[in-house]
Structures are given as structure tokens and as C-alpha cells.
A and B are shown apart, each in its own frame.
Chain A
Amino acid sequence: MIRSIDEYLELLKIELKDNDAATIQDALADAEEHLRAALANLHEQQPALPEAEALNQVIEQYGSPDETASAYREVERRTSPGMRREIPAQQESGFQRFFGIYNDPKAWGALLYMLISLVTGIFYFTWVVTGLSLSLSLAIFIFGLLFAVFFMVSLRGLALLEGRIVEGLLGVRMPRRSVFFQKDTTWFERLKTNLVDKHTWLSLVYFFLQMPLGVIYFSLIVTLFSLSIALMAAPLVQTIFDFPILSIGVMRYYVPSWSTPLFLLVGFLIWTLAMHLGRWIGQVHGKYAKMLLVTE
């Protein structure tokens, strides 16, 4: 017999242990929200009902941990996260696989992610550095504690936001809602829970590193893109505008006209390779984000 909501959540977690971390987080949040609301409601209607009896009734209606777990597994099996495409079983030639990248939403999503990660990276970094230094310096005042709690809660919000971006663009399943506190905890207890929660520190590290990573991703993609465009455009630009590919002093160097197709081909190949690189980085980054941002 289950004696508390926390015990129910523990059992549900065990039932779901082989599932995706994000599914587990969703399932636990749903169960906690529902069971607490149902229990409070039942207490209001029948104040005389003993706690254990009330909990039993509520769980009876909600479903035992194994029933609930199987409902999530069932639905999760039928739905796939954003943009995931099942790879067809038939063999594709290397050529098809190489150029098929243009038809892969994951590669385009990853490119977009690498571009915006510069902006989000700078924002996260600023937020984390400001929040951390203010939390530390205000710690000598009582309201400094309140500020620290606010900052840590904001980290959870940011983690959720980043999770949505990662799922949308990189196609890695991330939680759809944040972890939350129990209602009857004091500010001080919340601060303590947050301080000992490794999730808080991991997301802090993630946001900190997101700026250098964002700079690297952005530069990499912009460099490769410019290089590829430049190579493809050089022969055409020199024909139309008489613009040399290189000029040193008075010497002007032109590309011989026979090599035009070669330039087009190399530029195109570089861009195709960049797309492959982008997709690979996207996958690695998705795994890394999941490791640091999703609580087990």
C-alpha cells in the first residue's frame, strides 16, 4: 500500500526507468499535479476521511504506478518528438546518403540552431554571470536569499526554454515542463534543495558554456557558408563585373574560365560537407544538452 504521494512518484519512476528521461519527467510532473489537486479536493469534501484512505481513493482513480507507466509507454510509442523521421529500411547508396542531407530537416534545424546559439549563448551567459554575482554579493542581506531563490528558479525556466529550442531544432526529446517545488516549503528550504540539487549546477555549467560554444558554432557555419558561396560566385563575378579573385599590388589574378565548373563543384561540396558537419554537431549537442538539462 502506498503511503504518500512521494512514494507513488518513486514507484512510478521505477516503473518508467527504461524510458526516455524526458517522458519520466513529464509523467512525474503530471502525477504530482493531479494527485495533489485530487487529494486537496477530497479533503475539502470529506474532512473526516483519514489521510491513508483518501490517498488510496485518489490513487485508485488515477491508476496504480504500473498502469500509469504503461499508459505513457503506449502513447510515447505512437508519437515521435518534433521532426523525427523514421529512416527507411531500404539501402541507400552512398551518393544518395551524401546528397540526401538537403532533404533532412534535422540538418537544416541544426544549422539554424548553430546560428541562433550565438544570441541565446550571450543571453544565457549574461544572465548567469549577473545572477550568480548578485546572489553572492547580496547573500549578506536577508533579501539576498530571496534573490538567490529567484535566480535558481529562473535557471529552471531557462533550462525549459533551451529544452524547447533543442527539441524543436535538433529533434531530441526534451521535457515539456519544469520540475517544481512542493507547496509547503519555506524560502530557506527551497534555497537548500536547490543548492544540493546537482541539476541546478549542471544547468549553470551548460548556460556558462553556451556562449563559447555559440561563438564556435556561429563562426564555423558562417565561415563555411561564406567560403562555399565565394568559391561558387568567383568565376561568375569576374566574368560579369571584371572583379579579380585576388589582387596583389598592381597584379590582378583571374580564375581561368575552364575551371568555372570546378569552382562551382568545390563550393557546392564544401556546403554539403558543412551540412553534414552541422547535423553531426546538432546530434552531439542534443545529447549533451539532455545530459546537463534533464533531471533523471
Chain B
Amino acid sequence: MGLDIRLPIGMMFSLIGLLLAGSGFLTRSDAAMYHRSLDININLWWGIILLAFGLLMLIPALLAKKD
């Protein structure tokens, strides 16, 4: 088949996670914005989770491709 499914999925989650975590970092001092999410910087944390998930898929796929 030639296509490792972990590559596109890992790419997507990594990029979306980066985007969300980045916006969370840039808006970390905006307390009013995060009042809705119980004063938790949910963009940052959810972005980190998605990024971690994405890397979990992407790194093994890239290593397998290298082999």
C-alpha cells in the first residue's frame, strides 16, 4: 500500500496541537478569556495533549520510514 496512516494523522494532530498551544501561550495573561474554562488555560493544555498525541504517531512513523 505504501502509506503509513500514522504520518498524515500525526501531522494533523501535531500541527493543530501546535496552533492551539501557541494561541494558549500568547493569550496566557488574558484572564477574562479563560473565565469560561474555569480559569484554566484550556487552549494551552488541550494543545499540548493534541501535540503529544500527534508526535506519538508521527515519530514512530518517521523512524519506520527511515528504516
A binds B: no
Listed in ascending order, the chain A residues whose CB lies under 8 Å from chain B are none
